[in-house]
Amino acid sequence: MAHQAHAYHMVDPSPWPLTGAVAALLMTSGLAIWMHFNSVTLMSLGLVLLLLTMYQWWRDIVREGTFQGHHTPPVQKGLRYGMILFITSEVFFFLGFFWAFYHSSLAPTPELGGCWPPAGITTLDPFEVPLLNTAVLLASGVTVTWAHHSIMEGHRKQAIQSLTLTILLGFYFTILQALEYYEAPFTIADGVYGSTFFVATGFHGLHVIIGSTFLAVCLLRQVQYHFTSEHHFGFEAAAWYWHFVDVVWLFLYISIYWWGS
């Protein structure tokens, strides 16, 4: 076997970028077909292809790192840069929705009654379920940090317990938020209040689900002895993402739930 004279990782040719791009094509075209012709087939096909791509792509990365040893320190540095840049791009994504919220709420138009919250909108009490949700996510930030220290100190059982607790807190948040959505006295169609509320909190909720999934994969990997006390970047990436989700919620809570009520 030819050996490389450098510490970097020249990946094997892979079909997953192509299948991922096709999945994006199918999902976007499928969205248009759904909007105009009431058929979800194309979009669903795209979603299935996306899930297959994600599973196999990330499975291959685990193989390359944990089983083949390709994730040397310089490679891991690149992965860290990558995750940080990705999270930064997500910050900008949410920034847009916060911009929209402040644009409409700082100078409420006459159509809204010249006030915020707009006339006719019954807002949610920020000191009920939203406050509980804040506590749940803050607690999950503590448990994920506990999990990290457990991994670094080689405490396998504690790492599994704290990581499981983090994921359960994530599920609890999601369930509470789903119930809030169901019980809310306003909908997404209720003017700019409804739009900004549900789009901003909705995308946040989606990110909670994504983050919980990432943590669940880390739990499976921790159980299967993939992580060492020195090398567990997959977990660190998940923890960074989870903290980001928590911080976005804090901004949402303060801006939309509290100031905006």
Partner 1 sequence: MFRHMIAVQQVARRSICSSARRQVDNKVPQKQKIFQEDNGMPIHLKGGSGDALLYRATMALTVLGVGFTLYELVKASFPQKRD
Taking CA atoms, 88 is separated from 163, 166, 196, 241, 245, in Å, by: 24, 23, 21, 10, 12
Our CB check for partner 1 shows the closer of 52 and 199 to be 52
Q: Which of 31, 58, 64, 117 binds partner 1 (CB under 8 A)?
A: 64
* Residue 46 makes contact with partner 1 by CB under 8 A: yes
What distance lies between CA 81 and its chain's CA centroid? Answer: 18
Q: Which of 80, 155, 226, 243 binds partner 1 (CB under 8 A)?
A: 226
Q: Which of 8, 40, 63, 88 binds partner 1 (CB under 8 A)?
A: 63
Residues that contact partner 1, how many (by CB under 8 A): 39
Please report, as residue ranges, which positions from 112 to 171 form the binding site for partner 1 (by CB under 8 A): none
* Residue 56 makes contact with partner 1 by CB under 8 A: yes
* Residue 201 makes contact with partner 1 by CB under 8 A: no
Q: Which of 13, 73, 110, 185 binds partner 1 (CB under 8 A)?
A: 13
Our CB check for partner 1 shows the closer of 155 and 226 to be 226
* Residue 4 makes contact with partner 1 by CB under 8 A: no
* Residue 37 makes contact with partner 1 by CB under 8 A: yes
Only segment of 30-38, 113-121, 208-216, 242-250 that touches partner 1 (CB under 8 A): 30-38
The residue ranges that bind partner 1 (CB under 8 A) are: 1, 11-16, 18-19, 22-23, 25-26, 29-30, 32-33, 36-37, 41-42, 45-46, 48-49, 52-53, 56, 60, 63-64, 66-69, 223-226
